[in-house]
Structure 1
Amino acid sequence: MPLSLKKSAISLCAVAVISACASSPTGRDQLLLFSDQEMASMGAQSFEQIKQQEKISGDSVLNRYVQCVARHITAQVPKQYHQSGWEVVVFDSKQANAFALPGGKIGVYTGLLDIAENQHQLASVIGHEVGHVMADHSNERLTHSQLTGLTVAAAGVALSAADAENKALWMAALGLGVQVGVMLPYSRTQESESDVIGLDLMAKAGFDPQGSVDLWRNMAKASNGAPPEFFSTHPSHSTRIADLQANMSRAQGIAEQARKKGLKPDCRIQ
């Protein structure tokens, strides 16, 4: 490439990087190259693909229960993060998993309900996943992927790419690595940030924040022999519990204020 073109490319990259500076809900500096509209489009496309690949639960009782918890959580999401309603789908699978996508999409697997024993524990998971969306973690990962590859491609290129490899990579960046077989896990920083955001969301909705700690204790029991924190991109269960407990007093205060406002969720499997 001629020197002049190289300089132009570097200049364009610099402008893109400078203009893409942002802050997460916790105040952490971020670099985001994709617009909200582009991320919502990718989220919607990915969600439709997952709905075609996975079995959707027809259990009306479970659907009402999950919808109830999700409705209380998403009611606390500021409109700046998503303007309209959230689509919530329950997938019939033994996976103890859930995810949320840009564009207001939430998926919950029935296997999670064996570990999340009540509405408060389920609220902690859904709040955590919605926290990833609020904090633009998918955008961060796509941005990092673009810059690591020494390109600053327009999102339209990624969206229009027909090959399965490209689609799998950006679906993985949206948090769907388990489903598409491409592992691109959230970082420890992002996971910890989503824990805090999710804790606040569930507290603002009137759920008991202690449910988050109980949930991760259940997760620890269910994941016998999980690798130590040093070998994982996720915080260890004990670290997550300690971090949640460090924020528990504040969260309990938020939950108490929510209850005084009449926010008392009553979501049950019945």
Structure 2
Amino acid sequence: MKKILFSIVAAATLSAAFYACKTNSITGRKQLSLVSSSEMMSAAAAEYKSYIDTSKVIRTGAQAEMVKRIGANIANAVTKYYAQQGKSSVLDGYKWEYNLVNSNQVNAWCMPGGKIVVYTGILPVTQNEDALAVVMGHEIAHAIAEHGKERASQAILQQVGGAVVGVAVANKNAQTQNAIMNIYGIGSNVGFMLPYSRNNELEADELGLAYSSMAGYNPEAAIPLWQRMAALGGGTSEFLSTHPSESTRIKRLQNLMPNAITIYKQAKGIK
């Protein structure tokens, strides 16, 4: 009976995953989609408001103005670009917001729907508008490529997968069950969840570099930016990290640079 139940649950899980895969119109690859874009944007808007209401937002001054200016320039550039490509629908529901938050974190992020936060801690590393545009372009790319929705869908599938394993080991003693479930947790994270996240990061690097370039920001700022990031250290193995190593990222950006420079020159009217 348990074997039958396991087979049914496993088949249902695989079937749900298969039918929930859709081709992303921006990246061109299949993407797991167990939640809707509107659901993600609605949740993001509520979470963003709550975060902004309880954070130290810097609303005036040169740095805050810089964040808003870069955000608006990139948003306008991608809106125009996707309209020209006949893909305006990818930005349906977007209500862009750009905020600078006082925090030592060397980070920035963009939620589904264009909800952006830049932390003051990253500004000493970016050092200039071109480099900050590279960072913000990268984060905006995560949102437009719907990486958040993809990650949420993967988390749902992972939870269902855990239930399947639980059914399979239900007749084992408690110690054996715990050991197998622990192995499943480590294996699914390293083998499935983290590699997808690293792939998302590299995908966002490519899209984000194009976005900042079409907004008129020099993509050549990307290489020294990530060299400065590498100098900060961290010591986390790339294999166990959700982000690619700086050396991997720099190598990839060097390959992308010629195309990005072409986009930048077109945006600036440089021959």
Shorter chain as denominator, the TM-score bin is 0.7 to 0.9
Q: Secondary structure of the equivalent of 2:152?
A: helix
User: Partners in 2 of 1:257 and 1:58 — Cα distance?
Assistant: 33
TM-score (norm 2): 0.75
Q: Which runs of 5 or more residues in structure 2 are unaligned? A: 83-87, 162-193
Contact 1:115–1:219 (8 Å) recurs in 2: yes
Contact 1:98–1:129 (8 Å) recurs in 2: yes
The answer to whether 1:54 aligns with 2:55 is: yes
Which amino acid letter does the alignment assign opposite residue 212 of structure 2?
A: M
Contact 2:57–2:102 (8 Å) recurs in 1: yes
Aligned to 2:190: none
Deviates more, 1:247-256 or 1:43-52: 43-52
Deviation at 1:212, TM superposition (A): 1.3
Call closer, same or farther: CA 1:49–1:242 in 2, change over 3 Å: same
Contact 1:56–1:92 (8 Å) recurs in 2: yes
Aligned to 1:251: 260
TM-score (norm 1): 0.75
| Alignment of structure 1 residues 182-197 onto 2, 5 Å | 187-197=197-207
Aligned to 1:66: 67
Higher helix share: 2
User: Partners in 2 of 1:70 and 1:234 — Cα distance?
Assistant: 23
The answer to whether 1:227 aligns with 2:236 is: yes
Pick the aligned partner of 2:97 from 84, 87, 99.
Answer: 87
Contact 1:55–1:92 (8 Å) recurs in 2: yes
Call closer, same or farther: CA 1:147–1:186 in 2, change over 3 Å: closer
Call closer, same or farther: CA 1:50–1:141 in 2, change over 3 Å: same
Pick the aligned partner of 1:236 from 208, 229, 245.
Answer: 245
Contact 2:24–2:31 (8 Å) recurs in 1: yes
Contact 2:138–2:205 (8 Å) recurs in 1: yes
Q: Secondary structure of the equivalent of 2:100?
A: strand
Aligned to 2:152: 142
Deviation at 1:118, TM superposition (A): 0.7
Q: Secondary structure of the equivalent of 1:26?
A: coil
Percent of counterpart pairs with the same letter?
A: 37
| Alignment of structure 1 residues 118-197 onto 2, 5 Å | 118-150=128-160, 187-197=197-207
Which amino acid letter does the alignment assign opposite residue 229 of structure 1?
A: E
Call closer, same or farther: CA 1:240–1:96 in 2, change over 3 Å: same
User: Partners in 1 of 2:114 and 2:239 — Cα distance?
Assistant: 33
For the aligned residue pairs, the C-alpha RMSD in angstroms reads 2.8
Q: Which runs of 5 or more residues in structure 1 are unaligned? A: 152-183, 262-270
